[in-house]
Amino acid sequence: MQKDAIYAEPLAQVQDFCFDATVAEVFPDMIQRSVPGYQTIVQTIGKLTARYQQPNSNYYDLGCSLGAASLAMRRQLVDEQSKIIAVDNSPAMVERCKMHLQAFRSAVPLDVRLADIREVSIENAAVVVSNFTLQFLPKQDRDALVSKIYRGLKPGGIFILSEKIVVDEPHTHELLIDLHHDFKRANGYSELEISQKRTALENVMRPDTIVEHRQRFADAGFELSTLWFQCFNFCSMVAIKQPEPVHAAI
């Protein structure tokens, strides 16, 4: 695994973060050392997929990067009539994702698409995953995406949303940020790397609060939602589209 040293040297001007070839090259190392619980979240995406799978269905991985969530889903699926659709708008990520996934054989088809998640149609879905992607969309585009996901899910289908979050109250907000920075230090990032990365992400990633996420789920129509994971200012939630009621035969 190639080590992430993108912000190791002082930069005259820190540019906005983007998912180019340099980032794609070191991505597995970067995400594991930066996102607390990443491994647990990816494994649980597999577990939730196993539990909520339905025959003849689509499984979406929105902002797939190198396809970790797609792979976690595919390991659990046996239905050859089902399909995984992995979407990312970074050509460098999509190119590497395709190469990476070729190494794993499976009877379940997997379609990796270079596209904006705001443009893809979502239909006949049992599971939709956005693993740390919604936070990169402009805030005004988030409601429409979550509504589209709700409409594209089958009854009984789920939306798994993992995000970096903010807290409304300043003291606890700073506390979570400090704990996250301690986590990065413990994983070998220097003060310089932490502060330059923070600057690079400032204009690009705009996290919401958990309350905003849950309100957005409800507004989109999701009958149920819960936070199932939180470590510092990182979390994962699941929103469930209610199954259709079973009508007893008279």
Under the rule (CB under 6 A), what is the footprint of ligand GEK?
A: 19, 31, 63-65, 68-69, 87-90, 93, 116-118, 131-133, 136-137
Residue among 217, 184, 186, 216 nearest 201 (CA)? 184
Q: Which is nearer to ligand GEK, 155 or 201 (CB)?
A: 201
**DSSP letter at 165?**
B
Residue 112 vs 153, nearer CB to ligand GEK: 112
Closest approach of ligand GEK to the CB of residue 4, in Å: 11
Give the number of other CB atoms < 10 A from CB of residue 91. Answer: 13
Residue 210: CB minimum distance to ligand GEK, A = 18
Tell the smallest beta-carbon distance from residue 141 to ligand GEK (Å). Answer: 8
Residue among 169 and 197 whose Cβ is closer to ligand GEK: 197
Least gap, CB of 28 to ligand GEK (angstroms): 8
Overall size of the chain counted in residues: 250
Q: What are phi and psi of 224, to 5 degrees?
A: -135, 145
Is the CB of residue 224 less than 8 Å from the CB of residue 150?
Answer: no
Nearer to ligand GEK, 23 or 210 (CB): 23
Closest to ligand GEK by CB, 89 or 225:
89
Query: Burial letters for 185-214: b for 16+ Cβ neighbours within 10 Å, e otherwise?
Result: eeeebeeebbebbeebbeeeeebbebebbb
Vertex 38, ends 99 and 132: CA angle to 5°?
75
**Smallest separation (angstroms) from ligand GEK to the CB of 32:** 10
